[in-house]
Amino acid sequence: MKRLGTVKNIMRDGSLLLRITEEVGPGTSVFDARGERIGKVARVFGPVHEPYATVQSDLHNQDLSMLNSDAYFDPTKVKGARKKRG
C-alpha cells in the first residue's frame, strides 16, 4: 500500500474529501491504515499541484476520528490516472 493523502472532511452524504498527494483516477480503491477498504475515488479536482478527491465510502457510519487520518491505495491497481510523459 502507498499513502494517497489525508481525510479532510466527511460530507453529509457519507463521502470523504481527501487532499491527495498521488495521481489516481475514479474507481481507484481507497484503504485505511489497517488495510481495510473504505471506498473508491469518485472524482479528482482542484489545482494540479494541490489536488483533492472525493471518495464514495463503503462505510455506513463514518467516525469523526477519520478526520486528518491517512488514506492508502494499491499502486498496482490504479484506475484512470493519466500516464506521465517522460
More reliable by pLDDT, 79 or 6: 6
Note whether residue 81 is domain-resident: no
Note whether residue 86 is domain-resident: no
| Contact in structure between 29 and 71 (CB atoms under 8 Å) | no
CATH of residue 22: 2.40.10.230
Q: Which domain holds residue 6?
A: 2-63+70-75
Predicted pLDDT at 86? 43
Write down the mean pLDDT value for the chain. 88
Note whether residue 18 is domain-resident: yes
What is the tally of structural domains in the chain?
1
Is residue 65 helix, strand or coil? helix
Q: How confident is the model at residue 65 (pLDDT cuts 50, 70, 90)?
A: confident
Instruction: Choose among 22, 34, 9, 17: nearest CA to 76.
Output: 22
Beta strands in 1-86, from DSSP E residues, in sequence order: 2-10, 16-20, 29-31, 37-45, 52-57, 70-73
Phi and psi based region of residue 42 (left: phi greater than 0; alpha: psi -120 to 50; beta: remaining): alpha
Note whether residue 84 is domain-resident: no
Note whether residue 33 is domain-resident: yes
